[in-house]
Structure 1
Amino acid sequence: MKPITTLLLAASLASTALALSIPGSEHLVPRRPKTNQEPKYFHEPGGDDELGHYDERYFKGVVGYGEHRGNLRNLIRSYLTVFRALGVETWLAHGTLLGWWWNGQIMPWDYDLDTQVTAATLQYLGDHYNRTMHEYRYTDEETGEQRTKVYLLDVNPYHVDRLRGNGMNVIDARWIDTSNGMFIDITGLAEWDPKRHPGLWACKNNHRYKTTALYPMRETEFEGVTATVPYSFDNILIEEYGRKSLVAEKWMSHKWDSNVKEWVKEGDK
């Protein structure tokens, strides 16, 4: 059966996104087993830094340094464009937020991306958009040709368990490039203990935030498309990575070039 077209989006950068719902896709998600030992939902082809950033189902081989950043750029552009068109709140997190702080771009050594949503948003995505495929049309920046990629929004059925558990399912959802398996990790935040600690939010990987650090969210731009970041983004980054992360100009074999405002790989002219 062919997918049913459910939504047509006008994308920036001369791109268009088309959301495709898979009939009967609810049957593709396994039922939650009645056990405290949750099996891992998302699987990667390996556990190291090289292989741990691909979805096993779509992995065809490691994407080289010269190509991975362009793939990540299309990942985040498509994700932010589709979520905005759907009216779904999401914001940049972790290393992706740090890349935004430096120059509004992905760090060249990153091989995946991170965003966050609320637990209520996760439930909404799981109820209405789980296992939907999204076709994203874009212009190749090198050739000028029109190309198309298809992305999968996959919500982990264990997202409803807001405790860390055995640590196998701290990632609540993923936005996955079906051409190579590269992905955006999506994690949900919920109030940790609203009775004793109201206004304190946490994900299953023990990152905690005050409501006043998150809201009101700030609208900005990342990789050429509209994006959202937490209100106290600087304090969040300092708490997670240290103050040095906002000033150190050498990292992961790259140097910050203040003339062009970009990270440049050491040894490159």
Structure 2
Amino acid sequence: MIHSWIAMGVLASLLSPAVAGAPISIPAPVLPGMDHLKLDRKLEGKYFHEPVGHEKGADDRLGHYDTRYFHGMVTDKERVETLHHMVRAYLDFFRENKLETWIAHGTLLGWWWNSKLLPWDWDVDTQVLDTTLVRLANEFNQTISHYVSTDKKYEREYMLDINPWAYFRDNGPGHNIIDARWIDTTNGLYIDITALSAFDPRSKPDLLECKNYHKYKTEDLFPLRESSFEGVVSMVPYKYQEMLLEEYSLKSLTRTNYENHTWYPEQGQWVFDG
């Protein structure tokens, strides 16, 4: 499904090849390395790549790295440290540039427990509206952000990369459901950014969907609630608890032992059991 509204037309002019019969005119691709894109949507190739082999027994954790910056698996300590600073840098960048974003999926579940990432997580999930995606593509695509921690001990660079197939709001071949990434250029760990669109704006204007079939009512998402996550300002959906129950069930909010970790309420954190 291709939407002809103005916002996505702007995104198309930045990201996508011309499509025969489309209601809007789309110029040739302008992103570096995307000259192979053809007019036929059937030739859509996967944009983001992870160092995951198809061989039996491949380590699933490899799927959480962007292959362009992958130099080998990091230790658990480095993973936790990387994700902590990466999400802080991401949230600060979006707030400073007045870009609306909120945390989602397993990341939102971590926030529900103690406003932190779940200690066994390997990546971060965030969402934006497609109108925000347009601005990301227009003003910030493939930019590198320099980050220094508040104690000056941690320094990194992150690339914001927009998937050029993000213009197509349907699932398509199924391998471009992630619309953008915020990538640690040191080791390849990343934040997944997915955009929400009104797939049927005429009959269902209040229903928003992503390319991975997650559907939300606007009243469940908005107005966003201001909170904190990993020590910085963040936004969360308005009906966060109902959304978590629907996606993960009641057990996710009550189970206190998971992935070799135990929840200690007096400490307000998950502790590794070894």
TM-score (ref. length: structure 2): 0.84
- What's 2:10 paired with? none
Residue 45 of structure 1 pairs with residue 72 of structure 2: no
Q: For 2:138 and 2:273, locate their aligned partners in 1 and report how far apart those are by CA, in whole Å.
A: 46
- What's 1:193 paired with? 200
Unpaired runs of 5+ in structure 2?
1-29, 54-58
User: What RMSD in Å do the two structures reach over aligned CA positions?
Assistant: 1.3
**Paired residue type of 2:52:** G
State the shift of 1:145 in Å: 5.0
Asked if 2 retains the 8 angstrom alpha-carbon contact of 1:136 and 1:150, the reply is yes
- What's 1:9 paired with? none
Q: For 1:240 and 1:180, locate their aligned partners in 2 and report how far apart those are by CA, in whole Å.
A: 30
- What's 2:56 paired with? none
State the shift of 1:207 in Å: 0.4
Residue 60 of structure 1 pairs with residue 71 of structure 2: yes
SS in 1 for 2:202: coil
Residue 34 of structure 1 pairs with residue 45 of structure 2: no
**Paired residue type of 2:133:** L
CA 1:218–1:29: 2 relative to 1, 3 Å: farther
CA 1:266–1:57: 2 relative to 1, 3 Å: same
Q: For 2:257 and 2:185, locate their aligned partners in 1 and report how far apart those are by CA, in whole Å.
A: 33
Q: Which of 151, 169, 172 lines up with 2:179 in the alignment?
A: 172
**Paired residue type of 2:48:** F
Residue 210 of structure 1 pairs with residue 217 of structure 2: yes
Which runs of 4 or more aligned residues in structure 1 lie more than 6 Å from their structure 2 counterparts after TM superposition? none
- What's 1:231 paired with? 238
Trace 1:69-218 onto structure 2 (pairs within 5 A).
Answer: 69-139=80-150, 146-218=153-225
**Paired residue type of 1:121:** T
Q: For 2:227 and 2:103, locate their aligned partners in 1 and report how far apart those are by CA, in whole Å.
A: 10
**Paired residue type of 1:56:** T
**Paired residue type of 1:46:** V
State the shift of 1:29 in Å: 4.8
Count of residue correspondences: 238
TM-score (ref. length: structure 1): 0.85
Q: For 1:77 and 1:33, locate their aligned partners in 2 and report how far apart those are by CA, in whole Å.
A: 38
Q: For 1:66 and 1:135, locate their aligned partners in 2 and report how far apart those are by CA, in whole Å.
A: 22
Identity %: 48
Looking at secondary structure, tell me which structure has more helix per residue. Answer: 2
